């Protein structure tokens, strides 16, 4: 199954006592492979990664990956209850980050919703708590 869809993506970031939120409404492709879903979309100026393509792959409620290619390149691996180390490249330089996944709620088949909650750190120093809320139409 491959469909062209519209997605509403809200990215919430908590750093110290500050909360920042970005919202993206864009066209995306949605493909299902067995129990996995692949969502791919072009980033815009709104996300800060204009010129990049982001692909999110989700397997059940167990794992996900967020791959960004273009002006910024990164591969984030998310697995509930586990920490992974990932390379994160930006136009300003490259860094290794730790990502600990608190929750993956994959309800794409039933309601078209995806929720990811994770914590990022650099050199074992807390960077931010993050949430991604996606609605697929």
Kindly state the average pLDDT of the residues 40-51.
79
Question: 19-37 pLDDT, tens per residue?
Answer: 999 999 999 999 999 999 9
pLDDT of residue 19: 96
Homologous superfamily, domain 2-136: Calycin beta-barrel core domain (2.40.128.20)
Q: Would you kindly state where each structural domain of the chain is located, as residue ranges?
A: 2-136
In the block, residue with structure tokens 């136009």? 91
Regarding pTM above 0.75, the answer is: yes
Number of H helices, E strands in the chain: 1, 10
């Amino acid at each position: 199954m491959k469909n062209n869809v519209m997605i509403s993506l809200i990215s919430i970031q908590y750093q110290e006592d500050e909360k920042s939120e970005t919202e993206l409404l864009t066209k995306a492709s949605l493909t299902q492979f067995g129990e996995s879903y692949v969502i791919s979309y072009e980033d815009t100026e709104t996300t800060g990664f204009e010129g990049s393509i982001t692909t999110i792959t989700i397997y059940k409620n167990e794992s996900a990956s967020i791959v960004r290619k273009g002006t910024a390149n990164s591969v984030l691996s998310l697995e509930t209850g586990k920490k992974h180390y990932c390379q994160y490249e930006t136009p300003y330089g490259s860094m290794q980050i730790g990502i600990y996944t608190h929750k993956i709620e994959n309800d794409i088949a039933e309601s078209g919703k995806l929720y990811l909650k994770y914590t990022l750190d650099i050199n074992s120093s807390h960077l931010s708590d993050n949430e991604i809320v996606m609605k697929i139409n």
